[in-house]
Amino acid sequence: MRSERDHVAGLYARLDAERARVRGEYKASLRGDGESLVERDVQVRALAREVRRLDVVDNGLCFGRLEAESGQHSYIGRIGLFDADDDYEPLLLDWRAPAARPFYVATGAHPEGVRTRRQFRTRNREVLAFTDEHLGGPGGDEEGDAALLAAVNAPRGGEMRDIVATIQAEQDEIIRLEHQGVLVIEGGPGTGKTVVALHRVAYLLYTRRERMERHGVLVVGPNPAFLTHIGRVLPSLGETDVVFMTPGDLVPGLQVTAEDAPEVARAKGSLRMLDVLAAAVADRQRLPAEPLPIELSDAAVRIDADTAEWARQEARDTGLPHNEARATFIEIVTYVLTERAITRIGRGWLGKEDVAAREQLRRDLRAELAEKPEFAAALAELWPVLTPQELLADLYTSPERLRAAGADAALLRTDGAAWTVSDVPLLDELVDLLGRDKLAERAAKQAAERERKAEQEYAAGVLEIMEVERHDMMDDEDHLLAQDLVGADDLADRFVEHDTRSLAERAAADRDWTYRHVVVDEAQELSEMDWRVLVRRCPARSFTVVGDLAQRRSAAGATSWGSMLDRYVPGRWQYRPLSVNYRTPAEIMAIAGSLLAEFAPEVTAPESVRSCGVPPWSRRVTDEELPAAVAEFTRAEADREGTCVVIGPPDVPGAVPASETKGLEYDAVLVVDPDRILADGPRGAAELYVALTRATQRLGVLHREPLPRALSGLVELDGPVPAGSAQ
């Protein structure tokens, strides 16, 4: 034990030295000695990323050792460390390195050249104990299982833990799969599909870093609580260039405040909405019911339906998005009005041969038109500049516009801007349908250029002052001129704020950012329209898709993986199932499995690897007894190590809906009124299945009505929960 403690202490000393070296380089790069600002920003970001990577691996830096049949041994850890004094010999193997793979896949039948696998139990920087598995020898399996069972039986905290020390062979195969396209990982509750997907991201970043780190990785989860729960895993593995979002975050700056009813979510999630949105945009490209008059200084003109129709068709024929095609619409209308005005104004004095006079008159008329408020108002009425939010909010609040777009009447609502998760893919689609206002962008660019020119002129003035002062002070002809050190352009850069945000911060704020890889968790909940958003974010079509079709609750979600993926990667996605339940004890899974057999008989429940020895219970209470019974549960669990949750309908004090616990796990779970959860919509059974499978140790059920038949296996209590029954 002493030798192992000494070796691990040496690894921490090497980590500290490496950390000090990188921090020193980071501080030096901030000074930017002799470097351009761009070079400095690149170096600062790279070193900041390395500092973060080294700062998060203290806990459990080294978790195992392999002894080969030849007698050689190697240590396995979160990152790789090398001996700077010995030709950079490896002191610690990164768990993702090929040489570390036997730590996860070697068995007695297939030892992979390994004699002994040692797993450390650590606290902070100290080795507390270790277990050895002698591959091929008696008792090896029992010793190997000990580390896994210790991990899965440990009390849960608020955040998901990585499984880097206890990855199982089934999981390791998926993590290291070399398939570069779409990989679907499906597994029932507790199979570790989420944490396997995150370890796969860490593996891909390790093996394909140059291709992936410039664009980063996007992880999409069902809700903020879930993202908080999983947010520690990748940093603990030394990876930080990852953006975490919910489906509601995919349009930057949007505030999602509500959730649609199932029938509305189903309508919005269908690809039929593509036609609705296109029709809604076309409906805003109007023809005047009556000619729109515009009074010029020397003539009156008007925009009639024929002129607007010609301009509209020319604009549509460009194939450009609405806001960008508007320039063509304006150009045609302007052309017609100015030619008509020239004809009226020039009657009797302006001949065809007066080219210069005609051209000058044309320029004057165009300038006058551009300044006319009624002309601007007419253009805003016939071909307005639109934002996605404006168009969609106007559509939702107008029965007439909904009918014109061929939309489902169920989309009508009072507050058009009360955005829901189902609105996000529609708004994202409208970004491309509407495009940008090129005229406004051109004006902004010109303003930026004027500002840049002013900065250069200011910088040149500073240089001139410096030169005058140099002449006043110079007594040595060998002194360098100020402009030998810095030019006006370079000096102007000093007054410009450069973007020093991390990759994750820049990507999260940029709707047009594209990622090298995307992880989609609880993917069974995503609609057809949701998938369009995600594919747009990852042109390389590199996805890890995680889900369980049996847990789908969304009316617009997937009924099969092919129905969502074949449109984008036909025949090019791979499927890998996980069948072992590491979270839910066998006693609890037996209850959940009975429910699963009723609503999804074609699905096989995952097999639990352990029992907890505590039978799940139920207790019938009255309306008056319910609050006290809930309080009794939470009070008892507060005295135990670990986490707990109450899951039930909205009117149950202290309860959260099952949908908010998806992907999460707790030591103890209390489910209230399971009959009402079952009755809540067409996917109520899936909701209850999710609720029952969140517990890692203890499960209780309170009910005011008779228990659903599928829960008949619960031990029914006649009175309060006896002390110790939930131990």
What are the binding residues for ATP? Answer: 187-194
Count other Cβ atoms within 10 Å, centred on residue 292.
21
Largest CA distance in the chain: 113
d(C-alpha 293, C-alpha 296), whole Å: 10
Question: What angle in degrees, to the nearest 10, is found between the helix axes of 424-434 and 262-269?
Answer: 30
C-alpha 85 chain-centroid distance: 42
Place of tokens 């070399």: 178
Distances (CA, A) of 292 to 298, 308, 337, 384, 702: 17, 10, 11, 15, 69
CB 687 within 8 A of CB 565: no
- Which residues are CB-neighbours of 614 under 8 A, at least 6 positions away? 585, 587, 697, 698, 725, 726, 727
DSSP 52-119: HHHHT--TTSEEEEEEETTS-EEEEESS-EEETTTTTEEEEEETTSGGGTHHHH--SSS-TTEEEEEE
d(C-alpha 237, C-alpha 95), whole Å: 9
d(C-alpha 292, C-alpha 678), whole Å: 60
The sign one gets for the Cα dihedral 455, 458, 464, 467 is: negative
Buried b (16+ CB within 10 A) or exposed e, 606-633: bebbbebebbbbbbbbeeeebeebbebb
d(C-alpha 589, C-alpha 616), whole Å: 10
Which residues on adjacent β-strands are paired with residue 666? 695
CB 669 within 8 A of CB 645: yes
Q: Which two tokens stand for residue 32?
A: 């930017």
CB 438 within 8 A of CB 328: no
Helix (H, G, I), strand (E, B) or coil at 303: strand
Strand pairing category for 300-303 and 292-295: antiparallel
Q: What angle do CA 42, 47, 51 make, to 5 degrees?
A: 150
Closest CA to 689 of 661, 652, 717: 661
Q: Given 3-state DSSP classes, what are the helix, strand and coil percentages for the chain, each rounded to the nearest 5?
A: 50, 15, 35
Closest CA to 578 of 233, 230, 194: 194
3-state secondary structure 555-604: CCCCCCHHHHHCCCCCCCEEEEEECEECCCCHHHHHHHHHHHHHHCCCCC
d(C-alpha 466, C-alpha 484), whole Å: 12
Annotated binding-site members: 187-194
